Amino acid sequence: RLADMLLWLGWLLTAGALVAIAARWDRLAVNMRILVLAALMALVANALVCAGVSTVADRFQTRMSWVLPLLVWPLAVDLLQRRQR
């Protein structure tokens, strides 16, 4: 389905942006580093809680899945703009 392909493309691009952020980690401001680490820890904690409390159900993790792209894309754009200056 087209929707599934677009979803996978979005996650692939988000993963690429996350790799770019990791490669330029030292250029991020300290508060942005803390924000990234807090978001990743929240995603992992949510996955652990949802897996322990309920049966494996995607709907519990999808409530948090928007956090990573929402965080990664502005950081990636900021890093690209800094690189061009």
- The model carries a pTM of 0.62
> Which pLDDT score is estimated for 58?
62
Q: Average model confidence (pLDDT) for the chain?
A: 79
What's the total number of domains in the chain? 1
Overall average pLDDT of the 75-79 stretch: 80
3-state SS string for the chain: CHHHHHHHHHHHHHHHHHHHHHHCHHHCCHHHHHHHHHHHHHHHHHHHHHHHHCCCCHHHHHCCCCHHHHHHHHHHHHHHHHHHC
Residue with more model confidence, 6 or 53: 6
For residue 32, what are the domain limits? 2-84
> Which pLDDT score is estimated for 23?
84
Cα–Cα distance, 73 to 84 (Å, whole number): 17
Residue with more model confidence, 32 or 55: 32
**Percent of the chain predicted with pLDDT > 90:** 0
In sequence order, the 6+-apart residues with CB closer than 8 A to the CB of 47 are 61
* pLDDT of 63 strictly over 80: no
Cα–Cα distance, 67 to 46 (Å, whole number): 12
